[in-house]
Each structure stands twice: as C-alpha cells, then as structure tokens.
Amino acid sequence: MTSPVEPQLAARPEGALPAPMDPQIREFVRRMSADASQYPRRDTVSIAEGRDIAEKVRAPWAAGGPAMARTVERHIPTRHGELRIRIHHPAGQRMPGALLYIHGGGFVLFSVDTHDRLMREYAHRAGIVVVGIDYTRAPEARFPQPLEECIDAIEWLAAHAGEIGFDPAQLFVGGDSAGGNLTMGCALHFRDAGRQPIRAMVLNYTGFSTNLYRDSVVRYGAGDYGLSLHMMVWFYRNYLGRQEDFADPRMNLLAADVRGLPRACLVIAECDPLYDDSIDMVAKLEAAGVDLWARVYPGTVHSFLEAVSIAEVANTAFDDTVRWLQQHA
C-alpha cells in the first residue's frame, strides 16, 4: 500500500518556463555563487584543488546548528580498506534506531564535513543517532567501489549496533543526490541477497538515472540554479569508467527492478535538473507497490537543505522527513 503522494507530482510539459525560485533559496544560490566565483571552476583544476574549493564554499553552510551530546569518529573496515565514519549522538535520543546518511557531491566532491550540519539537524530534530560515511570518491574509486563500500558500512553498522547504541532493526539509510543513488543501490543489493537491513530510505533530490536528455536538465541545468549539466557530465566522466556502467541498474536506477524495496521518502526540489528523475521514480515505485511518501518543495534548488540556516522551506523539509522517520520507527 503506497502512501499518499503530493498532487503536484507531475512531469512538467516540454518547453514550460522555469519555476520561480523561493526568495530565501534565491539568496542561498546568490551567496553560494558569489563564494564560488572567487575560485577557478572546479573542472579546470586538479581533483584535489577542486575538492578543496568545494569544501571552502560549503563550509559556511555546514557550520552552526544543533549541538550534539557526543560526536565520535572512527575507521571501519570494508573490502576496499578502512573508511572514516562520524557518529552524532543527540541530546535526548528519542528514536531507538540510527540513520546512515550518505553525502552527495556527484561521487567526486564533498564529505562528512560539508554535510555535517545536515546530519546534526536530523539527529537533533528526530532524536536519532546519525552516522556519516566518507566513502572513497571518484576518480580514485570508480563505480561500483563507492557502492560496495556503503554496502560494507551498512553490514558493519548492523553488526555493531549494540556498541554504537541503536536497535539494528531500526537502521534507516538516506542521502542526497549521489548519496541517494548509493542508498537505493545498497537497498537493491540487499534485496537481491535475500536479507534487508535497511528499514527505510530517505532520498533527497536524488539522481536516479544517467540520462541527461531530460526536460528538467534543459530547464534548470544552465548553472543559474546551482547544479549544472556541465558539472553532471564532469561527475559522470570521473565516476563511470566504462560505457556499460551508464546502463547498469545499480547506477541507472530507473532501469532497475524496484519491487520489494524498503519504503521510501522522496524530497524533491522543483528547480532541479534532477526533477524529472524523481517524478519518474515516484511513478516507478508506486507501480511496484513500494510504500512511499514524496513531496515537491516549490521554488527549491538542488542542495536546498543546506540552506536550513536561512530558508523556511528547508526547515519544513527537515521536519517532514523527521515526522516520516518517526512514523516508521
């Protein structure tokens, strides 16, 4: 039985004008663009320099926000070597489970540092342990290595739940953009293996396909809404090493059989090149009988949750997701 889906979830007709940005989100985009303009374009410098620029531009938005009762970092084993995780324990843990949050960044950029505020917001608002993972990024690790590392991290967390302090039957997994893609890829793996440690998925403005010939890419991909077609091509060039990887259903999720997946919460940005991907995935999950909740947030752009310090709509999206998590604990 699927959950009610917001009525505005409908693909926009080809050639439709871009939707207007929420004023507070427009200010977020303006500030982010102004900061980024101080540096070279990330694809024109080395990968290391590009990552350093991305961290600097994102740093003001990752700062501030809720204080945690305790934050622990450790390294965990995977088939590809050790990875850093960050565990946030909120003051007043109200949910028995944990949320593994997988950061976005086109599989190339960002880290638990750029997404630290997002993780702390979920931890504080839901009263849940939140774990972030620094999977190995492309091009050092091409598909499917980051996916395999996330799979191994889920296995490790489930096995060490008692030590960390959460119920392993209540392990939620989520992420934004590339992190949402990795989240669903993990769920597909465990479904096919006949054991599903993931209780439910949080999918924030996720890239569900490798098809860049989408109307929403044309409408919102020029760069003035944040994520650009240019950057998406650069991400794929670094992450997908072989032509067949573009069609692999673990990456091109709109080509996957999604029957039997855990329930899902989809946070959809209206002014996002990935908008059409999300609309198509909602229809696909519904047709497969997957329990889901989805909402389009008007006037929002890719990465809008990072604007939580200045944008009411970002706060609304956090609270909506937290209510959904609590309903399914």
Report the catalytic residues.
Answer: 177, 272, 302
Q: Are strands 200-204 and 171-176 parallel, antiparallel or unpaired?
A: parallel
Residue 302: name the closest of 126, 10, 102, 106 by CA: 106
DSSP string, 258-321: -TTPPEEEEEEEEE-TTHHHHHHHHHHHHHTT--EEEEEEEEEETTGGGGTTT-HHHHHHHHHH
Give CA–CA dist 54/40, Å, rounded: 11
Q: Greatest CA separation found in the chain?
A: 54
Give CA–CA dist 91/128, Å, rounded: 9
Q: Are the CB atoms for 239 and 107 separated by under 8 Å?
A: yes
Per the rule left: phi > 0, alpha: psi between -120 and 50, beta: everything else, 233 is: alpha
Count Cα neighbours of 107 within 13 Å in the Cβ-side half-sphere.
28
Cβ within 8 Å of residue 175, ≥6 positions away? 101, 102, 103, 104, 181, 182, 183, 202, 203, 204, 206
Query: What tokens does 172 get?
Result: 């939620």
